[in-house]
Homo-oligomer: A and B are copies of this chain.
Amino acid sequence: MIDFPKPAAKQFLQTLALGRFAVTSNEDQLLFVSNLSGKMNLWSIELPGGFPSQLTFENQSIGSIHVDPKGRYTLITSDFDGDENYKIKVLSPAGGQAKLLIPAEEQTKQFVSHISDDGEYLYYATSQRNPEFFNSFRRNVMTGEEELLVAGEDALTTIESVSEDGCVIAYVKNFSNTHSLIEALDGDKTHILSSEPEEIQEMRRAVVAGRKVYYLTNLHDDHHYLASYDLDEKFSTIIKKLPNASMDELDYDAANQCLYVRTLEGAIAKLYRYTIYGEKWKEVASPFDMFLGLKIAKTGALYVLGSTSTSPMQIFKFTGTDWEPIVTNSVPGVPEEMLVEAETIKYPSFDGLQIEALWFKAPDEVSNGATIFWPHGGPQSLETKAFRSYFQYWLANGYSVFAPNFRGSAGYGSDFMKMVERDWGYGPRLDCVKGAEWLFEQGYAKPDTLYCVGGSYGGYMTLLLHGRHKDLFRAFVDIFGPCDLFTFYHSVPDHWKQMMDKFVGNPDRDKEKFIEDSPITYLENMTKPMFVVQGANDPRVVQAESDKIVNALREKGVQVEYLLLEDEGHGFSKKENELLVFERIVAFLDKQRLGHPVR
């Protein structure tokens, strides 16, 4: 028989990336963001399924897609080389050059909130003249006439939902990642939806349906649940709570008068349907472990972007009974059974708190005995059973992967999530330490075979673990991680500033804590091999953060590899960059393991 070569690195990393998507109102076209051409662009396929056409040629990340219900235009928001200064651009539904819709200064960020059913009005938020809290406008798309609807005053404020007749506008005021309130404008009247607005709570995802506003909240509960506010009766009602599940996305199916709710239940997501009339609640079984996007067509047909540990992002249509693949995606040349399914394990932390982690064990036939310890980014995010091409790439290269959802992670209730706030460097770090010790106890790893690799907050954690627990690991890889909480605090975008106090702390008030929790404090201890990756345009973790740690370590004579990506921000908009980084990481790890890279 023919002996085919083993799957190459790039087969995993060339897996199609899918981003936002939209369905036209007559459901004849699906528009989606993808790096099919190597870089992120907008594509479309004719429904019920066909060959894709490229609509944009900007080669940039696209943050949202909105289609004129009357089919005259398409709106996208895109930035430039990762700078996150997203602008609203208009293009012909047939594709072509995308044109800036609303004149704005370069630093301005614009976000689409809603398009009216007749396509005449755009509701959008802009940082122009209000960089910290944003202003929201209603704009006549055809004439350019516009009207200020909501001015952000004390919190980052954006419109969440607009009623069919345009009279009711629900907006969310974000004080921090874990504190937000929803209000609604009803003609000239303002409704405070929460019954106890003074309480710290997190309200999210408003939907105006008739004279009710549906939303998710965690008021007096550890988990988010579904509630509604009656605009006439002026009071809120709890609609549905689920034990041990946090509701985190809410979508409205006007055709069938029902709501779709996505929950996070630890490392997996589930989908539920709530029928407003009849008050029926039902789980919708799906082929996915994680939902990354959901669109409801005018007909009520559901289009879902999702994945599992072993199946890359795909878009399926749910007909009510069946899931039909629309945009299919697999690791080229690698059958799904060769990919590694995550095992969910739990271990007790230093204070008895249970920590859940994903454990991907490299198959015996490829295992090299080494393990990658992956503290996720966020930090108020989590590692789920979504497909991770680089995990599978590492696994195929023989590395097992351990990803702990340390305290502060989403998916385990609000109390758990808040545990990282103003405590970036203590509890979560010790959870990681206990995770490493768990691996040692199980016999899965030894300090000599354990490598710490993390991005964003995970990069910060990597640096901190290097500074304070270097003997647990053999080497470290920091991707876009901040090293100094003082400078990080000051360098984030304007609209992050308010929430930084609660999220990270205050450099004056919490000076001692900032020093204790900044990796740069422990520079002297960082003696292990390290590889640092940074995007030159990163607006969240600026290049100075990485320059600082690299220069400081090099001055001490520590060998540090440094890769600066000139045309990226806080992520990868270009497949070639992603490929480069993850290939370099494996080469770096192989070199530590063997004294030379394998390739």
- Asked if A50 contacts B90 (CB within 8 A), the reply is no
Inter-chain contacts of A335 with B (CB < 8 A)? 94
A331 to chain B, nearest CB (A): 9
23 A-B pairs whose Cβ atoms sit less than 8 Å apart in the complex: A1-B72, A2-B142, A4-B73, A4-B90, A4-B91, A4-B96, A8-B97, A11-B57, A11-B95, A11-B96, A16-B54, A36-B37, A45-B51, A49-B50, A50-B328, A51-B51, A51-B52, A51-B327, A92-B333, A94-B333, A94-B334, A95-B332, A96-B334
Q: Flag A1-36 by CB within 8 Å of B: 1 or 0 each.
A: 110111110110010100000000000000000001
Provide the bound-state CA to CA distance between A333 and B7, in Å: 37
The chain B residue with its CB closest to the CB of A5 is: B97
Decide if A326 is an interface residue (CB 8 Å cutoff).
yes
- Asked if B90 contacts A2 (CB within 8 A), the reply is yes
Q: Flag A528-550 by CB within 8 Å of B: 1 or 0 each.
A: 00000000000000000000000
Provide the bound-state CA to CA distance between A335 and B96, in Å: 11
A527 to chain B, nearest CB (A): 39
**Residues from 486 to 506 in A contacting B, C-beta threshold 8 Å:** none
Q: Flag A137-158 by CB within 8 Å of B: 1 or 0 each.
A: 0000110000000000000000
Inter-chain contacts of A92 with B (CB < 8 A)? 4, 333
Provide the bound-state CA to CA distance between A95 and B325, in Å: 20
- Asked if A330 contacts B2 (CB within 8 A), the reply is no
The chain B residue with its CB closest to the CB of A327 is: B51
- Asked if B96 contacts A57 (CB within 8 A), the reply is no
- Asked if A14 contacts B326 (CB within 8 A), the reply is no
Inter-chain contacts of A49 with B (CB < 8 A)? 49-51
- Asked if A55 contacts B333 (CB within 8 A), the reply is yes
The chain B residue with its CB closest to the CB of A330 is: B53
> Which among A14, A50, A99, A333 has the highest number of chain B CB atoms within 10 Å?
A333
- Interfacial residues, chain A to chain B (CB-CB below 8 A): 1-2, 4-8, 10-11, 14, 16, 36-38, 45-46, 49-55, 57, 72-73, 90-92, 94-97, 99, 141-142, 325-330, 332-335
A515 to chain B, nearest CB (A): 48
The chain B residue with its CB closest to the CB of A335 is: B94
- Asked if A326 contacts B90 (CB within 8 A), the reply is no
- Asked if B4 contacts A99 (CB within 8 A), the reply is yes
- Of B4, B37, B99, the residue contacting A37 (CB under 8 A) is B37
Beyond A4-B91, A91-B333, A333-B97, whether A14 also contacts B50 by CB under 8 A is: no
Provide the bound-state CA to CA distance between A50 and B10, in Å: 23
Inter-chain contacts of A36 with B (CB < 8 A)? 36-37
- Asked if A96 contacts B332 (CB within 8 A), the reply is yes
- Of B57, B73, B95, B325, the residue contacting A2 (CB under 8 A) is B73
> Which among A45, A51, A99 has the highest number of chain B CB atoms within 10 Å?
A51
Inter-chain contacts of A54 with B (CB < 8 A)? 14, 16, 332
Provide the bound-state CA to CA distance between A59 and B332, in Å: 15
Provide the bound-state CA to CA distance between A38 and B38, in Å: 7
- Of B99, B141, B332, the residue contacting A53 (CB under 8 A) is B332
Provide the bound-state CA to CA distance between A52 and B327, in Å: 9
Inter-chain contacts of A53 with B (CB < 8 A)? 328-330, 332
Provide the bound-state CA to CA distance between A53 and B331, in Å: 9
Beyond A8-B96, A97-B333, whether A141 also contacts B2 by CB under 8 A is: yes
- Asked if B328 contacts A96 (CB within 8 A), the reply is no
- Asked if A142 contacts B90 (CB within 8 A), the reply is no
The chain B residue with its CB closest to the CB of A576 is: B38
Inter-chain contacts of A97 with B (CB < 8 A)? 4-8, 11, 333
Beyond A5-B99, A49-B51, A50-B49, whether A14 also contacts B57 by CB under 8 A is: yes
**What are the 3 closest A-B residue pairs judged by CB atoms, nearest first?**
A96-B333, A95-B333, A5-B97
A159 to chain B, nearest CB (A): 22
Inter-chain contacts of A330 with B (CB < 8 A)? 53
Provide the bound-state CA to CA distance between A325 and B53, in Å: 14
Inter-chain contacts of A57 with B (CB < 8 A)? 8, 10-11, 14, 332
Inter-chain contacts of A14 with B (CB < 8 A)? 54, 57
Provide the bound-state CA to CA distance between A437 and B210, in Å: 73
Provide the bound-state CA to CA distance between A52 and B168, in Å: 43
